[in-house]
Amino acid sequence: MSIKIGIRHEDKYASERRTPLTPRHVKMLKDRHDLEFVIQTSPKRIFKDEEYIEAGAEVTENLSECPVIMGVKEIPADFFDKNKTYIFFSHVIKGQPYNMPMLKQMMKMGCNLIDYEKVADEQGKRLIFFGKFAGLAGMINSLWSLGQRLKEKGYTDNPFLKVKQSYNYDSLAEAKKEISFVGREIAEKGLPKELLPLTIGFTGYGNVSIGAQEIAALLPIKEISPEKLLDLQNRKNLPDNIIYKTVFQEKHISKPKDSSHTFELQDYYSHPEKYENNFEQYIPHLTILMNCMYWDTRYPQIFTKEFARKLYKEGEPKIKVIGDVTCDPDGSIAFTHKGTEIEDPVFVYNPHSGEPTMGFKGDGILVMAVDILPSELPRDSSEAFGDALVNFIKPIADTDFESDFEKIGLPSPIKKAMILHKGKLTPDYEYIKQYLKD
C-alpha cells in the first residue's frame, strides 16, 4: 500500500473554496494506483466531505499520518511537521516578505516544498495553473464592475447591470450564457453614445489574458492594434454596437530609456532597468484596463499615481474600471494598495486625495483587485487544475525524499519546482537566501 496523501482545508481566506484534487481525481488515483487519501474536513470546500468519502477517501480533522500534504494557498507556519513534503502555492520565489516566516519555519522543520507555480516543461512553460480562471473570473467581475460604476455615473439602464460577480454564478457555463445575452443586447440595441467607443485593453497574452479575452469574446468585439486605438476617438460615425479590444505586448508597455535604441524583448527581460513606461499614452483611450501580465519590481509601473493625478486634472477621463488581475500591491498599477476580498472586491481610488474608498461610490478610478479570483469559479477551476496535476501524484507518492537531491526520482517538471529539500534551498532557489535575513 502506498503512503497516505493529505489534502488540507484552505484557511487563508474565508471564501477560498478550491481544492487541488477533486473527488473524481481521488477516485481515479485510488482505482488505478491504489493510493490512499486523507481529506481534512471542510465546511466550505466546493466539494463536500461526503463526495470524498464516496470516492474512497478518509475524511478527518488530523493529517498527522500523511507524509505528503497538498493544498492550494499558503499554509500557516504552525501547521508544518518535521521532514514532511508540502505541495502548494507558497509565494516565496520573489522573496515576498510576508511569507518569509513561513519559509523559515519549513526550513527549521526540515520540510520539502514543491510549488505548483514552478512546475514547468523543458521550455519553461507552466504545466499546472489556475491562471486562466483568474482571467475568466477577472473579466466577468470587471464587466459587472463596469455596470455598477456606470450606474453610479447616471447610466441606470446600461446592459452590463445584468452581469453578476463571478461567485454568484453556479458555474462558468452559466456566467458565459448570461454574458452572451448581454452581448446580443449590445449588438441589437447599441450602447449610449457618451460611452463610445467602448474599449477594453489587455496587458499580457499568457493564460490569464487568454481567460479574460475568452469572456470578452462573448460580446460584439472587434480587435484593433494599439496604434489604431490611439486614433479611434478621431473616427466619425463609429458603430454603437461594437466594443473594441486591444492586446498590449511588452513592446507597447515599455520602451528603452535611450531613444536611440529599439525595443528588444530578450534585452528587456535581461536588463529591465534600461526601460521605462511607454503605456501612459494608451490609458486615456481605454474604458476598461485588464491588467493580466507578469510584473515584479524590476519593471516599470504601467499606471502611476502621478499619471492618475494628471489624467484627472483634465476632467473625468474615459477609463472607468481597472481589472487588476495581476494584483501586486503597490505594483504595476501603483494605486492597487492591496488585494481585495471576494466579499468586498472593489475600491475607488481618488487621484486628488491619493486615498481609496471601498465600494462603487466616489470620485476616481474603480479598481477590481480580488487576489483569489479562481476561487470565484471554484468547481470549474479545481477540476481543470486537478486534470493538470493528477498524473504527477503517483510519482510523488513513490519518491524517497530522503535521497540526495540529485538522485531524487521525481519527474523533471516536479523536481524543477522543488524549492526546499530536507529544509535546504535547492540550487535553483538559493537566491532566496538574500530575503531570509533577519
Cα distances (angstroms) measured from residue 328 to each of 9, 130, 336, 350, 399: 25, 17, 7, 19, 35
Delimit the domains of the chain by residue range.
4-119+379-435, 131-376
Q: What is the DSSP string of 177-222?
A: HHHHHHHHHHHHH---GGGPSEEEEEE--SHHHHHHHHHHTTS-EE
pTM, to two decimals: 0.88
The architecture of the domain spanning 4-119+379-435 is: 3-Layer(aba) Sandwich (3.40)
User: Which secondary structure element, helix H or strand E, spans residue 365, and what is its range?
Assistant: strand 365-368
Residue 265's identity, in one-letter code, is L
Gap between the Cα atoms of 188 and 271, Å rounded: 49
Would you give per-residue pLDDT tens digits along the chain (438 residues)?
Answer: 468 999 999 999 889 999 999 999 999 999 999 999 999 999 999 999 999 999 999 999 999 999 999 999 999 999 999 999 999 999 999 899 999 999 999 999 999 999 999 999 998 889 998 889 999 999 999 999 999 999 999 999 999 999 999 999 999 999 999 999 999 999 999 999 999 999 999 999 999 999 999 999 999 999 999 999 999 988 988 999 999 999 999 999 999 999 999 999 999 999 999 999 999 999 999 999 999 999 988 999 999 999 999 999 988 999 999 999 999 889 999 999 999 999 999 999 999 999 999 999 999 999 999 989 999 999 999 999 999 999 999 999 999 999 999 999 999 999 999 999 999 999 999 999 999 976
Gap between the Cα atoms of 105 and 108, Å rounded: 5
Gap between the Cα atoms of 348 and 308, Å rounded: 12
Gap between the Cα atoms of 45 and 53, Å rounded: 14
